[in-house]
Structure 1
Amino acid sequence: MKSTTKDYRHIQFCDDRSQVDIKQLQTLFKLAAFWARERCSEDLEIAVANSNPIVTAWDGEEMIGFARGTSDGIYRATIWDVVIHPDYQGGGLGRKLVETVLSHPLMCRVERVYLMTTHQQKFYERIGFEYNQSTTMVLYNQPMESLPRTEHNSVNQTADAVSIGG
Protein backbone atom coordinates (compact mmCIF):
# COMPACT_ATOMS: atom_id res chain seq x y z
CA MET A 1 0.00 0.00 0.00
CA LYS A 2 1.36 3.41 -1.00
CA SER A 3 1.67 6.06 1.71
CA THR A 4 -0.31 9.27 1.14
CA THR A 5 1.77 11.24 3.62
CA LYS A 6 3.66 14.04 1.89
CA ASP A 7 7.34 14.54 2.59
CA TYR A 8 8.02 18.15 3.52
CA ARG A 9 11.56 17.74 4.85
CA HIS A 10 12.89 19.89 2.00
CA ILE A 11 10.77 22.92 3.03
CA GLN A 12 12.95 25.73 4.37
CA PHE A 13 11.82 28.21 7.03
CA CYS A 14 13.34 31.69 7.05
CA ASP A 15 13.07 34.52 9.58
CA ASP A 16 14.85 37.10 7.44
CA ARG A 17 12.38 39.89 6.60
CA SER A 18 14.49 40.91 3.58
CA GLN A 19 13.63 37.58 1.94
CA VAL A 20 9.88 38.32 1.83
CA ASP A 21 8.74 38.54 -1.78
CA ILE A 22 5.72 40.87 -1.71
CA LYS A 23 4.36 39.64 -5.08
CA GLN A 24 4.51 36.03 -3.91
CA LEU A 25 2.92 37.06 -0.62
CA GLN A 26 0.02 38.68 -2.49
CA THR A 27 -0.43 35.50 -4.53
CA LEU A 28 -0.35 33.37 -1.37
CA PHE A 29 -2.97 35.59 0.31
CA LYS A 30 -5.22 35.42 -2.77
CA LEU A 31 -5.04 31.62 -2.74
CA ALA A 32 -5.36 30.88 0.96
CA ALA A 33 -6.34 33.91 3.06
CA PHE A 34 -9.88 35.21 2.58
CA TRP A 35 -9.18 38.06 5.02
CA ALA A 36 -6.16 39.34 3.06
CA ARG A 37 -7.05 38.80 -0.60
CA GLU A 38 -7.36 42.49 -1.42
CA ARG A 39 -4.23 43.79 0.30
CA CYS A 40 -2.11 45.97 -1.96
CA SER A 41 1.67 45.64 -2.23
CA GLU A 42 2.34 49.06 -0.68
CA ASP A 43 0.37 48.18 2.46
CA LEU A 44 2.00 44.75 2.69
CA GLU A 45 5.43 46.36 2.54
CA ILE A 46 4.49 48.60 5.48
CA ALA A 47 3.10 45.65 7.48
CA VAL A 48 6.23 43.59 6.86
CA ALA A 49 8.53 46.50 7.74
CA ASN A 50 6.71 47.05 11.05
CA SER A 51 6.50 43.40 12.11
CA ASN A 52 9.06 41.29 13.92
CA PRO A 53 9.40 38.37 13.65
CA ILE A 54 8.52 37.51 10.07
CA VAL A 55 8.69 33.82 9.17
CA THR A 56 8.33 32.45 5.66
CA ALA A 57 8.29 28.86 4.37
CA TRP A 58 9.86 28.02 1.02
CA ASP A 59 9.69 25.14 -1.42
CA GLY A 60 12.71 26.04 -3.51
CA GLU A 61 12.03 29.54 -4.87
CA GLU A 62 8.29 29.46 -4.06
CA MET A 63 6.98 31.05 -0.85
CA ILE A 64 4.42 28.57 0.46
CA GLY A 65 3.95 29.93 3.99
CA PHE A 66 3.98 33.20 5.89
CA ALA A 67 3.38 34.47 9.42
CA ARG A 68 4.31 37.64 11.23
CA GLY A 69 4.30 38.88 14.78
CA THR A 70 4.47 42.04 16.83
CA SER A 71 5.80 42.07 20.36
CA ASP A 72 7.05 44.25 23.20
CA GLY A 73 9.44 41.41 24.03
CA ILE A 74 8.23 40.80 27.58
CA TYR A 75 4.50 41.27 28.25
CA ARG A 76 2.41 40.98 25.09
CA ALA A 77 2.75 39.74 21.53
CA THR A 78 0.38 39.04 18.67
CA ILE A 79 0.69 36.65 15.76
CA TRP A 80 -0.77 37.85 12.45
CA ASP A 81 -1.49 36.54 8.96
CA VAL A 82 -0.64 32.85 9.33
CA VAL A 83 -1.07 31.27 5.91
CA ILE A 84 0.05 28.08 4.15
CA HIS A 85 -0.47 27.44 0.44
CA PRO A 86 -3.49 25.09 -0.01
CA ASP A 87 -1.35 22.41 -1.72
CA TYR A 88 0.81 22.19 1.41
CA GLN A 89 -1.87 22.23 4.12
CA GLY A 90 -2.39 19.27 6.42
CA GLY A 91 1.24 18.21 6.66
CA GLY A 92 2.29 20.05 9.81
CA LEU A 93 3.81 23.08 8.07
CA GLY A 94 1.32 25.53 9.61
CA ARG A 95 2.15 24.22 13.06
CA LYS A 96 5.89 24.51 12.37
CA LEU A 97 5.36 28.06 11.03
CA VAL A 98 3.56 29.14 14.23
CA GLU A 99 6.08 27.34 16.46
CA THR A 100 8.93 29.09 14.63
CA VAL A 101 7.30 32.47 15.29
CA LEU A 102 6.75 31.54 18.96
CA SER A 103 10.38 30.48 19.41
CA HIS A 104 11.75 33.81 18.17
CA PRO A 105 13.58 35.82 20.91
CA LEU A 106 10.97 38.61 20.76
CA MET A 107 8.15 36.11 21.32
CA CYS A 108 9.42 33.28 23.51
CA ARG A 109 9.55 35.25 26.78
CA VAL A 110 6.28 37.18 26.57
CA GLU A 111 3.63 36.66 29.19
CA ARG A 112 0.77 36.35 26.66
CA VAL A 113 0.62 35.78 22.92
CA TYR A 114 -2.60 36.71 21.16
CA LEU A 115 -3.99 35.93 17.75
CA MET A 116 -7.31 36.26 15.99
CA THR A 117 -8.87 33.58 13.83
CA THR A 118 -12.25 33.13 12.22
CA HIS A 119 -12.28 29.39 11.50
CA GLN A 120 -9.06 27.81 12.81
CA GLN A 121 -9.65 27.66 16.59
CA LYS A 122 -9.07 23.88 16.75
CA PHE A 123 -5.78 24.19 14.88
CA TYR A 124 -4.46 26.77 17.35
CA GLU A 125 -5.77 24.85 20.37
CA ARG A 126 -3.62 21.88 19.29
CA ILE A 127 -0.59 24.19 19.46
CA GLY A 128 -1.51 25.35 22.98
CA PHE A 129 -3.65 28.45 22.46
CA GLU A 130 -6.84 28.74 24.50
CA TYR A 131 -10.15 30.17 23.39
CA ASN A 132 -10.69 33.53 25.08
CA GLN A 133 -14.02 35.24 24.65
CA SER A 134 -13.51 38.13 27.04
CA THR A 135 -10.40 40.05 26.00
CA THR A 136 -10.75 40.91 22.33
CA MET A 137 -12.01 44.33 21.38
CA VAL A 138 -11.61 46.19 18.12
CA LEU A 139 -11.49 49.83 17.08
CA TYR A 140 -12.23 50.45 13.42
CA ASN A 141 -9.99 53.44 12.79
CA GLN A 142 -11.10 56.04 10.29
CA PRO A 143 -8.58 57.67 7.99
CA MET A 144 -7.48 60.97 9.54
CA GLU A 145 -8.90 62.95 6.60
CA SER A 146 -12.42 61.75 7.38
CA LEU A 147 -12.41 62.84 11.04
CA PRO A 148 -14.21 66.12 11.76
CA ARG A 149 -11.74 68.82 12.72
CA THR A 150 -12.18 70.02 16.30
CA GLU A 151 -9.93 71.77 18.77
CA HIS A 152 -9.50 68.41 20.56
CA ASN A 153 -8.04 66.50 17.64
CA SER A 154 -6.16 69.28 15.88
CA VAL A 155 -2.49 68.47 15.71
CA ASN A 156 -1.58 72.04 14.76
CA GLN A 157 -2.55 73.82 17.97
CA THR A 158 -0.10 76.56 18.83
CA ALA A 159 1.02 78.05 22.12
CA ASP A 160 -1.07 81.16 21.27
CA ALA A 161 -4.20 79.13 21.91
CA VAL A 162 -3.15 78.51 25.49
CA SER A 163 -3.56 81.35 27.97
CA ILE A 164 -0.58 81.51 30.31
CA GLY A 165 -0.84 83.47 33.55
CA GLY A 166 -3.54 85.74 32.47
Structure 2
Amino acid sequence: MRKLQRLFQVGAFWAGERRLEDWGVAIANSYPIISVWDREELIGFARATSDGIYRAMIWDVVIHPDYRGQGLGRQLVQTLLAHPRMNRVERIYLTTTHQQRFYEHIGFASNSSTTMVLNQEVDVLSISLDHPQTEALPEQ
Protein backbone atom coordinates (compact mmCIF):
# COMPACT_ATOMS: atom_id res chain seq x y z
CA MET A 1 0.00 0.00 0.00
CA ARG A 2 2.94 2.34 0.64
CA LYS A 3 4.11 1.91 -2.95
CA LEU A 4 0.66 2.94 -4.13
CA GLN A 5 0.69 5.98 -1.88
CA ARG A 6 4.15 6.98 -3.18
CA LEU A 7 3.02 6.62 -6.80
CA PHE A 8 0.13 8.99 -6.19
CA GLN A 9 2.31 11.46 -4.30
CA VAL A 10 4.61 11.85 -7.31
CA GLY A 11 2.13 11.31 -10.13
CA ALA A 12 -1.31 12.59 -9.13
CA PHE A 13 -1.78 16.15 -7.90
CA TRP A 14 -5.39 15.32 -7.04
CA ALA A 15 -4.70 12.35 -4.76
CA GLY A 16 -1.29 12.81 -3.18
CA GLU A 17 -2.71 13.51 0.27
CA ARG A 18 -4.70 10.30 0.62
CA ARG A 19 -4.07 8.25 3.75
CA LEU A 20 -2.99 4.60 3.73
CA GLU A 21 -6.07 3.43 5.62
CA ASP A 22 -8.31 5.25 3.12
CA TRP A 23 -6.52 3.52 0.25
CA GLY A 24 -7.31 0.22 1.94
CA VAL A 25 -11.03 1.00 1.92
CA ALA A 26 -10.95 2.17 -1.70
CA ILE A 27 -9.08 -0.94 -2.85
CA ALA A 28 -11.41 -3.26 -0.92
CA ASN A 29 -14.40 -1.74 -2.73
CA SER A 30 -12.92 -1.73 -6.24
CA TYR A 31 -12.80 -4.38 -8.94
CA PRO A 32 -11.01 -4.68 -11.25
CA ILE A 33 -7.72 -3.17 -10.13
CA ILE A 34 -4.86 -3.01 -12.62
CA SER A 35 -1.25 -2.22 -11.75
CA VAL A 36 1.91 -1.77 -13.84
CA TRP A 37 5.31 -2.66 -12.42
CA ASP A 38 8.94 -2.11 -13.40
CA ARG A 39 10.56 -4.85 -11.37
CA GLU A 40 9.79 -3.83 -7.75
CA GLU A 41 8.54 -0.32 -8.55
CA LEU A 42 4.84 0.40 -8.98
CA ILE A 43 4.67 2.69 -12.02
CA GLY A 44 1.00 2.57 -13.00
CA PHE A 45 -2.39 2.03 -11.44
CA ALA A 46 -6.10 2.18 -12.24
CA ARG A 47 -9.23 0.85 -10.59
CA ALA A 48 -12.95 0.66 -11.31
CA THR A 49 -16.29 0.05 -9.67
CA SER A 50 -19.20 -1.48 -11.54
CA ASP A 51 -22.52 -3.28 -11.37
CA GLY A 52 -21.15 -5.48 -14.17
CA ILE A 53 -23.81 -4.69 -16.78
CA TYR A 54 -25.22 -1.15 -16.81
CA ARG A 55 -22.76 1.28 -15.25
CA ALA A 56 -19.12 1.47 -14.25
CA MET A 57 -16.76 4.17 -13.10
CA ILE A 58 -13.02 4.32 -13.69
CA TRP A 59 -10.98 5.82 -10.87
CA ASP A 60 -7.42 6.86 -10.10
CA VAL A 61 -5.63 6.30 -13.40
CA VAL A 62 -1.99 7.29 -12.94
CA ILE A 63 1.36 6.56 -14.55
CA HIS A 64 4.60 7.56 -12.82
CA PRO A 65 5.93 10.76 -14.47
CA ASP A 66 9.20 9.03 -15.50
CA TYR A 67 7.23 6.47 -17.55
CA ARG A 68 4.73 8.73 -19.31
CA GLY A 69 4.66 9.07 -23.08
CA GLN A 70 5.30 5.36 -23.71
CA GLY A 71 1.69 4.28 -24.20
CA LEU A 72 1.42 2.73 -20.74
CA GLY A 73 -1.55 4.89 -19.74
CA ARG A 74 -3.50 3.88 -22.82
CA GLN A 75 -2.63 0.22 -22.29
CA LEU A 76 -3.62 0.48 -18.62
CA VAL A 77 -7.06 1.89 -19.44
CA GLN A 78 -7.62 -0.55 -22.31
CA THR A 79 -6.73 -3.47 -20.03
CA LEU A 80 -9.25 -2.20 -17.49
CA LEU A 81 -11.93 -1.87 -20.20
CA ALA A 82 -11.24 -5.39 -21.51
CA HIS A 83 -11.63 -6.99 -18.08
CA PRO A 84 -14.64 -9.37 -17.89
CA ARG A 85 -16.22 -7.22 -15.17
CA MET A 86 -16.10 -4.20 -17.52
CA ASN A 87 -16.32 -5.39 -21.12
CA ARG A 88 -20.13 -5.83 -21.14
CA VAL A 89 -20.98 -2.62 -19.29
CA GLU A 90 -23.35 -0.33 -21.18
CA ARG A 91 -21.89 2.99 -20.00
CA ILE A 92 -18.51 3.68 -18.38
CA TYR A 93 -17.81 6.98 -16.68
CA LEU A 94 -14.71 8.75 -15.45
CA THR A 95 -13.79 12.21 -14.28
CA THR A 96 -10.71 14.12 -15.33
CA THR A 97 -9.40 17.63 -14.87
CA HIS A 98 -6.74 17.91 -17.57
CA GLN A 99 -6.70 14.67 -19.57
CA GLN A 100 -9.78 14.94 -21.79
CA ARG A 101 -7.78 14.53 -25.01
CA PHE A 102 -6.03 11.42 -23.67
CA TYR A 103 -9.37 9.73 -22.94
CA GLU A 104 -10.92 10.91 -26.22
CA HIS A 105 -8.17 9.00 -28.08
CA ILE A 106 -9.32 5.86 -26.26
CA GLY A 107 -12.97 6.45 -27.23
CA PHE A 108 -14.46 8.46 -24.36
CA ALA A 109 -16.53 11.56 -25.11
CA SER A 110 -17.32 14.55 -22.92
CA ASN A 111 -20.85 14.47 -21.57
CA SER A 112 -21.88 17.58 -19.68
CA SER A 113 -25.43 16.38 -19.09
CA THR A 114 -24.75 13.57 -16.61
CA THR A 115 -22.29 14.91 -14.05
CA MET A 116 -23.53 15.93 -10.65
CA VAL A 117 -21.46 16.06 -7.48
CA LEU A 118 -22.27 15.84 -3.79
CA ASN A 119 -19.22 16.77 -1.73
CA GLN A 120 -19.66 15.37 1.75
CA GLU A 121 -17.74 16.43 4.80
CA VAL A 122 -16.68 13.36 6.75
CA ASP A 123 -17.38 13.33 10.50
CA VAL A 124 -19.56 16.45 10.31
CA LEU A 125 -22.77 14.83 11.45
CA SER A 126 -22.99 13.99 15.13
CA ILE A 127 -26.02 12.40 16.68
CA SER A 128 -26.78 12.50 20.37
CA LEU A 129 -29.00 9.84 21.84
CA ASP A 130 -29.01 11.51 25.27
CA HIS A 131 -31.81 13.92 24.34
CA PRO A 132 -33.88 12.39 21.56
CA GLN A 133 -36.21 14.71 19.73
CA THR A 134 -39.78 14.08 20.85
CA GLU A 135 -41.50 16.51 18.52
CA ALA A 136 -44.02 14.80 16.27
CA LEU A 137 -43.50 14.93 12.54
CA PRO A 138 -46.13 16.90 10.62
CA GLU A 139 -48.82 14.75 9.06
CA GLN A 140 -48.76 14.45 5.30
TM-score by length of 1: 0.75
Letter of the aligned partner of 2:72 in structure 1?
A: L
Q: How does 1:17-166 map to 2 (within 5 A)?
A: 22-143=1-122, 145-147=123-125, 149=127
Cα distance, 1:122 vs structure 2? 0.1
Deviation at 1:134, TM superposition (A): 1.2
The one-letter amino acid paired with 1:147 is: L
**Paired AA for residue 113 in structure 2:** S
- Quick one: distance in 1 between partners of 2:112 and 2:40? 40
Q: Deviation of residue 61 (structure 1)?
A: 1.0
Cα deviation digits, residues 27-81 of structure 1 (max 9, x gap): 1101110010100100001101110000000111111000000000000000000
**In structure 2, what is the Cα distance between the partners aligned to 1:136 and 1:104?**
25
Partner of residue 10, structure 1: none
Encode CA deviations 1:100-129: one digit per residue, 9 max, x unaligned: 110111110000000000000000000000
Other structure's SS at 1:68 match: strand
The aligned amino acid for 1:43 is D
- SS of the equivalent of 1:100 reads helix
User: Which amino acid in 2 is paired with 1:31?
Assistant: V
Separation (CA, whole Å) in 1 of partners of 2:19 and 2:120: 18
Cα distance between partner residues in 1 of 2:66 and 2:119: 34
- Can you give the 5+ residue segments of structure 2 that lack an aligned partner in the other structure? 133-140
How far apart are residue 146 of structure 1 and its match?
2.1
**Identity rate of aligned residues, in percent?**
63
| Runs of 4+ displaced beyond 3 Å | none
CA apart distance, 1:141: 1.6
Q: What is the Cα deviation at residue 148 of structure 1?
A: 6.2
